[in-house]
Chain A
Amino acid sequence: MERLLRRYGAVLTGTFIALTAFWLLVLVLLPNFTMLESSFRPYLPAVEIGGQKDFYSFRNYLTIFGTPFDTSLLGMHFTIPLRILIFLSTIFYSALVTVITFILAYPVAYYLAKIVSPKSLPTLFLLLFVPLWVSEILRAFAWWIIFTFNGPLNALLLGLHIVDTPVRWLGYNSVIVGLVYTYVLFMVFPLYNAMQSLDSNQIEAAENLGSPWWRTHWRVILPHSKPGIASGAVTVFMLCAGSILVPTILGGTSVQWFTQTIQSWMLEALDWNSGAAYAFILLTLCIVFVFGMMRVFGVKLSDIAK
């Protein structure tokens, strides 16, 4: 603080603090507190707000246990609250997408960091960045075109006589494909950054000592890439769990994502209090996931957010 004053004087220091305080308080902290507060209050018509019925309770949170739903998993039939099912399947599919993006991205990152000649790197990066610049909604839309009933994928499969009748693709499978496509680059770049900082001599030393390629990856490259894996995994998982566009566009009617539940509370039922409660559940999930990743990979927050 004293250092700040000495370096920048009172007026500038005051400006910096004011701008930062506006950001962190007015745009970040207070809105989240408001959300938390209103998630404990009932949804009431405007005239009754502040009245007798307006008291704190967990009612909004408990609605997640309502609406029993029959489903089956691995041949077992059971009943589970619908929104719990949606919540769990959102987590499951987001984690699945995270794993798939990691498998797809790992060789790409390794190729960029250690194999390709540095001269062609800028060109490759330019090509990789193109889809990143195209907005998420258009990336999802591109796959919608491919997956659509009379679309090119069915046309190709029919043409090759792999299928006899067009397939209805839209569902969880197409959502997974769309999410992987949309977010795979968020796995590539952190991995690349981490691998790039690894001294190539270490890889050569390992090979020189007779280590087979898979062991070199397992014992040298993978451990070194830990911060990148953590960063990529957090980013991809959060984007997946928080996505509205991809499940809506590519999911058709059979897919239910947790964000869609929040969306229907907020924009269709206009029950903002329940919406706040569900949004807070999602936020909690994300916080737990971030801290879990930091624990598992032994990295700091500054390694994840770069």
Chain B
Amino acid sequence: MNKKRDYLFHLYMGLFLAYLLIPLIIMGGASFNDNKVPSIVPWKGWTDRWFIDLWNDDRIWIAFRNTIGVALAVVALSVPIGTAAAILINSISGRMRAILYALMVAPVLIPGIVIGVSTLLFWSAFHVGAGLHLSVLGQVSYIAAFVMLLVLARLQSFDMGLEEAALDLGASHAQVMRRVLLPHLYPAMAAGGAIAFFQSIENFNITLFTRGNADTLTVYVFSKVRTGFPPTINVLALLLISVTLGAALIYEVFRRRRAAIAAMHEAEGRRAEEAGIA
């Protein structure tokens, strides 16, 4: 009975993965098809011309530069903001904490289009025109919440005694921060930074309303909807997938290596314990 049930579940999982991955494979495959419309049927033979077209497309290079620039700015703002907010909320309690927490997670639940519109209106009231700078601010407003949540989770495993120990040994508040608290938070801040980077790259809704005339990759791709997508978009997709997949794999390898070292140390500690008792 259980065997049969498990078999059905395996099958379902396989189908689900196929459902997730096949569209991406079709999209990637179309980048090699020598056909003016992006498709794998009819197959008109292998080509690398869409790669070359992409390489020679100036607009896409500008969009690419803009995207990276915006993403880096978003990381540079949202990581400090999210970290500060997490530390702040971790040290207060009661009603004030509940209110602040609700305010901080609200931007995640607000539709991007609302953030885009409100950011545009707010800054234009100060005669700050649309442009990528507004895209950065709009994106930070909700991406900082992701960083905050990650850092807050990490803070929960932090032993406050360490701060007191450092203070007691004569460290100033700044030294405690730099040598004790921040090192503990770095993994969460790094993860937050990575999420901020990728969230920013794929952001569309906020960027569409705040960008002014500047292009980012998502907006550029979107602008091709009306004209019908050229297969260079498939090449772009393929490259983006490869890059993110590569980054993910590298991250995973590092994570496993670190986990292995930590496990080794703990085993050594246990051995020392046993040796001490004997």
Q: Is A133 an interface residue (CB 8 A)?
A: yes
Q: Which residues of the partner chain A approach B20 to less than 8 Å between Cβ atoms?
A: 127-128, 130-131, 181, 184-185
| Interface size grouping (class) on chain A | 35 or more
Distance, CA A9 to CA B137, complexed state (A): 29
Report if A142-B109 is in contact (Cβ < 8 Å); known contacts: A19-B84, A24-B104, A148-B37.
no
Q: Other than the known A134-B240, A143-B23, what 18 A-B pairs have Cβ atoms closer than 8 Å? A: A4-B91, A9-B173, A11-B173, A12-B173, A20-B84, A23-B104, A107-B9, A127-B20, A130-B21, A137-B204, A148-B37, A155-B41, A242-B113, A242-B114, A244-B204, A263-B113, A272-B120, A305-B108
Distance, CA A146 to CA B41, complexed state (A): 10
Interface string of A134-145 (1 = CB under 8 A from B): 111111011111
Q: Which residues of the partner chain A approach B27 to less than 8 Å between Cβ atoms?
A: 138, 141-142, 145
Report if A151-B39 is in contact (Cβ < 8 Å); known contacts: A35-B118, A108-B13, A142-B27.
yes
Q: Is A52 an interface residue (CB 8 A)?
A: no
Q: Which residues of the partner chain A approach B88 to less than 8 Å between Cβ atoms?
A: 4, 16-17, 20
CB–CB B109/A286 < 8 A:
yes
CB–CB A111/B12 < 8 A:
yes
Q: Which residues of the partner chain A approach B185 to less than 8 Å between Cβ atoms?
A: none
Q: Is B222 an interface residue (CB 8 A)?
A: yes
CB–CB B209/A151 < 8 A:
no
Tell me the dominant secondary structure on chain A's binding face: helix
Residues of A participating in the B interface, judged by any CB pair closer than 8 Å:
1, 3-4, 7-9, 11-12, 15-17, 19-20, 22-24, 27-32, 34-35, 38, 104, 107-108, 110-111, 115-116, 122, 124, 126-131, 133-139, 141-146, 148, 150-152, 155, 181, 184-185, 213, 234, 238, 241-245, 248-249, 259, 262-263, 266-267, 272, 275-276, 279-280, 282-283, 286, 290, 301-302, 304-306
CB–CB A8/B87 < 8 A:
yes
Distance, CA A306 to CA B138, complexed state (A): 21
CB–CB B252/A275 < 8 A:
no
Distance, CA A249 to CA B172, complexed state (A): 56
Closest 10 CB pairs of A and B: A242-B111, A9-B173, A135-B202, A31-B122, A305-B105, A31-B118, A27-B141, A142-B23, A19-B84, A35-B118
CB–CB A181/B173 < 8 A:
no
CB–CB A242/B104 < 8 A:
no
Report if A136-B202 is in contact (Cβ < 8 Å); known contacts: A12-B177, A145-B38, A242-B111.
yes
Residues of B participating in the A interface, judged by any CB pair closer than 8 Å:
5-6, 9, 12-13, 16-17, 19-21, 23-24, 26-27, 30, 37-42, 80-81, 84-85, 87-88, 91-92, 100-115, 117-125, 137-138, 140-141, 144-145, 149, 160, 163, 172-174, 176-177, 198, 201-202, 204-205, 208-209, 218, 221-222, 225, 229, 233-234, 237, 240-241, 244-245, 248-249, 252
Q: Which residues of the partner chain A approach B121 to less than 8 Å between Cβ atoms?
A: 31, 34-35, 38, 272, 276
Q: Which residues of the partner chain B approach A151 to less than 8 Å between Cβ atoms?
A: 39, 41
| Pairs A–B under 8 Å by Cβ, sample size 5 | A23-B81, A35-B117, A150-B39, A266-B117, A282-B114
CB–CB A245/B117 < 8 A:
no
CB–CB B149/A306 < 8 A:
yes
Which listed residue, A8, A111, A122, touches B13 by the CB 8 Å rule? A111
How many whole Å from B159's CB to the nearest CB in chain A?
Answer: 13
Report if A142-B81 is in contact (Cβ < 8 Å); known contacts: A241-B111, A245-B222.
no
CB–CB B245/A133 < 8 A:
yes
Which residue in chain B gives the minimum CB-CB distance to A4?
Answer: B91
Q: Which residues of the partner chain B approach A283 to less than 8 Å between Cβ atoms?
A: 110-111, 114
Which listed residue, B41, B102, B208, touches A263 by the CB 8 Å rule? B208
Distance, CA A28 to CA B143, complexed state (A): 12
Distance, CA A241 to CA B205, complexed state (A): 12
CB–CB A181/B248 < 8 A:
no
CB–CB A305/B140 < 8 A:
no
Q: Which residues of the partner chain B approach A286 to less than 8 Å between Cβ atoms?
A: 109-111, 114
CB–CB B113/A144 < 8 A:
no
